[in-house]
Amino acid sequence: MKKLVMIGNGMAGVKTLEELLQRDNTRYEITIIGDEPYPNYNRIMLSNVLQGKTSLDEITINDWNWYTENNITLITGEKAIEIDRGEKIVETEYGKEIHYDELIIATGSSSFILPLPGSRLEGVVGFRTIEDTEKMMQAAQCKTKAVVIGGGLLGLEAARGLIDQGMEVHVVHLLPTLMEQQLDAPAARMLKKDLEKQGMKFKMEKQTEEILGETHVEGIRFKDGEELACDLVVMAVGIRPNTALAEKSGLEVNRAIVVNDYMETSDPSVYAVGECAEHNGMTYGLVAPLFEQGRVLAAHLTEIKSPGYQGTVLSTQLKVAGCDLFSGGDIHEDDETDAIVVQDAVAGVYKKILVKENKITGIVLYGDAGDGNRLFSMLKNETDISDFTTAAVFQKAGEEDEADLLAEMPAEETVCGCNGVTKGKIVQSILEDNLTTYEEVKTCTKAGASCGKCQPMVEGILALTLGAGYDAAAQKNGMCECTALTRDEVVAEIKEKGLQTPQEIRYVLEFKNKEGCAKCRPALNYYMRMLRPETYADDKASRLVNERMEGNIQKDGTFSVVPRMYGGTTTAEDLVKMGEVAKKYDVPLVKITGASRIGLYGVKKEDLPHVWEELGMRSGYAYSKSLRNVKSCVGSQFCRFGTQDSLRLGIRLEQELEMVDTPHKMKMGVAGCPRNCSEALTKDFGVICVDNGYQLYIGGNGGTEIRECDFVKIVATEDEVIAYAKAYVQYYRETGIYGERTAPWVDRLGVDTIKVMLQDEKQRTYYENRFTEAKDTYQEAWSAMLAKTQEKKMYEITRV
């Protein structure tokens, strides 16, 4: 058996081995040398880790078991330092000598760190590896201001992530427009405008001259003399192919390691693939061409004939900090091309198609990238567009069926750009492996396993391939990527098996990721606290950032502090206290909120604990998945139309129901008369006071999708209102999906189901008592925290 050694454990190299093993898994004894201490992971998804959308474990492509199962010897955390091509030996930094018959160099690339004065200071990082990402996340815990140098894709993703981590971020870019490799000026302007709305700040056409500081970053100075204070500098100005090892061994190196169509270097037993390889003068940094190279090399190493690698026409479809864009081919017109432009500034949509001799040569889409794959297919296939209309951006008259477009898509067309999966691969896997659901296709092919933008197309191909055998009802999704089990199935298993901790749940129920992910960690923490209020201790680390910080993160990276003010009422003492705190901590905005409370906006992250301590007031839970507020009018106390004391009832509801976690945020309203000044009919729970009592309503929503409440019944007393509200909230707690508002919950369960429960005294009392038991545990936790705070204050006074 021949010995195949690969230097590098990244996406392009491991993809090559995956393709090789599919073709022939008995030909080679394989060894991989990786300098990072991790199995193969998806570098593209590091921005999602930084943004808190996913965890490091979730971006692993091939876990440790994959190497064992495929008889691959994996050496991690160790660099290859020398290639002896005469003896065919690779030497590592710790003295290992590994013999090879065939060698693949897949060393990738490194962040380019500008050689500026101060670039070696602590606090200067690239954005390329897990280590870089962890450094940025750690910095965000104790630092407040970051500068990202580079306004390309990587820089903008880093900036978005650092904002989500609570930092104030400036992006410094040398050119007048962002992402100039993918976007023309109009699209780039729209992107910049959208990112500024998210709190991103820009310094355009600025050249950094020096990074300031003694031992740690303190700021940067531009060539024009302007200075900008910061604690963290992220270099995102490009990448540099890792070629030093190849160059040292005498291989031909230009910008990168020179290869032919079969990825052979100047030594026929040594190959290069990925970002470290140069083919016909081109180097590539996107996944699709690197995976194409891997397929070609795998065929060559298993002696399967292929036309070789012919280069790649590049396209980019991605979501930059939540903004959709697609770019392919040329992005700038010249004297020989015509441009068809569709722009809707109100909707934030821009589409430009470049045409030459009745063929598409370039595509720029912003805000709506849905046409990207179809148009790019036309570009690559040099489709004659004479028969296409331009009103719908090249759609044949009468052609609106997505299934027709998928049927016409060639097998070699890439569907999942993140993982380089073609339509042909998906169809082949569906037929050969009897796949029937999107989740099965994703697991088998990795299509949709990264950003997920291709899911609708993958589902369409699945339906098209299976035809009458496609079962739409079977396309259920698990509660997260870690498990195929739904929320209801997980909760049922917790009850049946008596599971006591999220860790136990993940192990017993065989979650793929035993550490959990960004979706299931907060969800399981919620379900456990809901099911076991007396015994389960809340895991604050599993909560979302706003809940951990006890404040809503604002677009500039600061936070809002909103103390509880029952029914919008307060005292002179509390008003004075809020004013003093606002002055002491230089709070830029003090505002009456829409929930009739006073909010302090623009509080710095490091000041949050001190602000809450000095206020000494209970949180208004303006950031939490729980009851946020009860909006009420003054009612019969003052209003001539008021039929009941709605203000008093609103305060009672707020006091009785506060603190307890729910699947999503909840808002309530109490109106003193049918004029409904407090807008109670679009709340999660609404009360309209009438002469003979109180009308109860459920399931309203006043957000982007308005849903008017459903009427339940009229009750006679305030105590009954409280009892019904408690039972309703507890029923929602026990049957709602984490992250699901009451409006879709009511639609999902059916309003009649909820009415039956509320109108059945036995069921209503059961859920009311369950809520009261849960509330007691939250109150105990609050009292314990107050006692600790008081002890700390007494200790500090004693010390003084």
Kindly write down the DSSP assignment for every residue of 443-501, as one continuous string. HHH-TTSSS-TTHHHHHHHHHHHHGGG--GGG----SBTTBS--HHHHHHHHHHHT--S
Please report the pLDDT score of residue 293 as a whole number: 94
CA dihedral 612, 614, 618, 619 (to 10 degrees): -20
Q: Average the pLDDT over each of 137-141, 276-280, 479-483, 691-695 and give the range with the smallest value.
A: 479-483
pLDDT interval class at 545 (50, 70, 90) = low
In this structure, the strands spanning 559-561 and 598-603 are: antiparallel
Question: Binding residue per annotation — 677?
Answer: yes
pLDDT interval class at 273 (50, 70, 90) = very high
* Whole-number Å distance between alpha carbons of 248 and 262: 22
Q: Which of 513-527, 545-559, 751-765 has the highest mean pLDDT?
A: 751-765
Please report the pLDDT score of residue 472 as a whole number: 67
> For residue 108, which amino acid is it?
G
- Of 186, 188, 130, nearest to 156 by C-alpha is 188
In this structure, the strands spanning 559-561 and 552-553 are: antiparallel
Output the six-digit token pair for 605.
């992250």
* Whole-number Å distance between alpha carbons of 526 and 522: 6
Which position has the token pair 């900090």? 321
Output the six-digit token pair for 333.
């017109």
Question: Binding residue per annotation — 673?
Answer: yes
* Whole-number Å distance between alpha carbons of 702 and 679: 9
CB 758 within 8 A of CB 723: no
Q: Average the pLDDT over each of 673-682, 718-727, 786-795 and give the range with the smallest value.
A: 786-795
What's the gap between Cα 531 and its chain centre? Answer: 28
Backbone angles phi, psi at 53, to 5 degrees: -80, -20
Please report the pLDDT score of residue 335 as a whole number: 85
Three-state SS at 438: helix
> For residue 354, which amino acid is it?
L
Q: Is the pLDDT of residue 614 over 70?
A: yes
* Whole-number Å distance between alpha carbons of 44 and 647: 53
pLDDT interval class at 474 (50, 70, 90) = low
Average pLDDT score over residue span 278-284? 94
Q: Do the domains at 2-109+241-301 and 124-237 have one common CATH topology?
A: yes
Q: In the 3-class helix/strand/coil scheme, how is 538-583 assigned residue by residue?
A: CCHHHCCHHHHHCCEECCCCCEEECECCHHHCCCHHHHHHHHHHHH
Evaluated on CA atoms 507, 510, 514, 520, the torsion sign reads negative
Q: Is the pLDDT of residue 595 over 90?
A: no
In this structure, the strands spanning 666-671 and 627-632 are: parallel
Three-state SS at 727: helix
Evaluated on CA atoms 562, 564, 566, 571, the torsion sign reads negative
What count of Cα atoms within 13 Å lies in the side-chain half-sphere of residue 594? 7
CB 441 within 8 A of CB 435: yes
Please report the pLDDT score of residue 391 as a whole number: 47
**Beta bridge partners of residue 109, listed in sequence order:** 241
Average pLDDT of the residues of the chain: 87
Please report the pLDDT score of residue 795 as a whole number: 47
Average pLDDT score over residue span 184-207? 91
Using the 8-state DSSP alphabet, how is residue 207 labeled?
Answer: -
What's the gap between Cα 392 and its chain centre? Answer: 31
* Whole-number Å distance between alpha carbons of 622 and 619: 8
Average pLDDT score over residue span 202-229? 95
Domain 627-800 has CATH 3.30.413.10: yes
Please report the pLDDT score of residue 466 as a whole number: 86
Please report the pLDDT score of residue 389 as a whole number: 57
What percent of the chain is predicted at pLDDT more than 90? 47
Q: Is the pLDDT of residue 792 over 60?
A: no
* Strand intervals (E) in 578-727: 589-592, 598-603, 627-632, 666-671, 685-690, 693-698, 710-715
- What CA–CA distances, in Å, run from 557 to 161, 164, 190, 201, 607? 11, 7, 22, 11, 13
Output the six-digit token pair for 607.
């000041």
Output the six-digit token pair for 243.
């070629």
Q: Average the pLDDT over each of 283-297, 462-476, 682-696, 750-764 and give the range with the smallest value.
A: 462-476
- Of 156, 249, 153, nearest to 202 by C-alpha is 156
Q: What is the DSSP string of 53-116?
A: SS-TGGGBSS-HHHHHHTTEEEE-S--EEEEETTTTEEEETTS-EEE-SEEEE---EEE-----
- Of 547, 554, 552, nearest to 198 by C-alpha is 554
Q: Is the pLDDT of residue 576 over 90?
A: yes
CA dihedral 770, 773, 778, 782 (to 10 degrees): 160
Structural fold of domain 544-624: Sulfite Reductase Hemoprotein; domain 2 (3.90.480)
What count of Cα atoms within 13 Å lies in the side-chain half-sphere of residue 226? 9
> For residue 786, which amino acid is it?
L
Element (H, E) at 170: strand 168-173
Which position has the token pair 């569709």? 342
* Whole-number Å distance between alpha carbons of 30 and 20: 11
Question: Binding residue per annotation — 444?
Answer: no
- Of 423, 507, 426, 436, nearest to 476 by C-alpha is 436
pLDDT interval class at 318 (50, 70, 90) = low
- H-assigned helices in 143-276: 153-164, 185-197, 244-248
Q: Is the pLDDT of residue 109 over 90?
A: yes
What percent of the chain is predicted at pLDDT more than 70? 92
258-284 core/surface letters (b: 16 or more CB in 10 A; e: else)? bbebbbbbebeebbbbbbbbbbeeebb
Question: Binding residue per annotation — 639?
Answer: yes
pLDDT interval class at 785 (50, 70, 90) = low
Task: Assign domain 2-109+241-301 one CATH number from 3.40.50.300, 3.30.1490.20, 3.40.50.2300, 3.50.50.60.
Answer: 3.50.50.60
Evaluated on CA atoms 287, 293, 297, 303, the torsion sign reads positive
Q: At CB < 8 A and 24+ separation, what contacts does 496-504 make?
A: 500/528, 500/532, 500/535, 500/536, 501/528, 501/536, 502/528, 502/539, 502/542
Output the six-digit token pair for 655.
């006091």
Which position has the token pair 């993809």? 15
Listed in sequence order, the residues at least 6 apart from 298 whose beta carbon sits closer than 8 Å to its beta carbon are 16, 17, 19, 20, 22, 23
* Whole-number Å distance between alpha carbons of 561 and 621: 9
Please report the pLDDT score of residue 788 as a whole number: 66
* Whole-number Å distance between alpha carbons of 522 and 738: 8
Task: Assign domain 124-237 one CATH number from 3.40.50.300, 3.50.50.60, 3.40.47.10, 3.90.550.10.
Answer: 3.50.50.60
Higher-pLDDT residue of 673, 480: 673
Three-state SS at 660: coil
* Whole-number Å distance between alpha carbons of 735 and 173: 49
The full set of domain ranges for the chain reads 2-109+241-301, 124-237, 487-543, 544-624, 627-800
Please report the pLDDT score of residue 405 as a whole number: 67
Average pLDDT score over residue span 79-88? 96
Which position has the token pair 């590098």? 8
Q: What is the pLDDT of residues 647-682, one digit of tens each?
A: 999 999 999 999 899 999 999 999 999 888 888 999
pLDDT interval class at 800 (50, 70, 90) = very low
Q: What is the pLDDT of residues 381-438, one digit of tens each?
A: 788 887 765 544 444 444 445 566 677 777 877 788 767 788 888 999 998 888 888 8
Listed in sequence order, the residues at least 6 apart from 363 whose beta carbon sits closer than 8 Å to its beta carbon are 315, 326, 327, 328, 329, 352, 353, 354, 372, 375, 376, 379
Higher-pLDDT residue of 239, 477: 239
Please report the pLDDT score of residue 93 as a whole number: 94
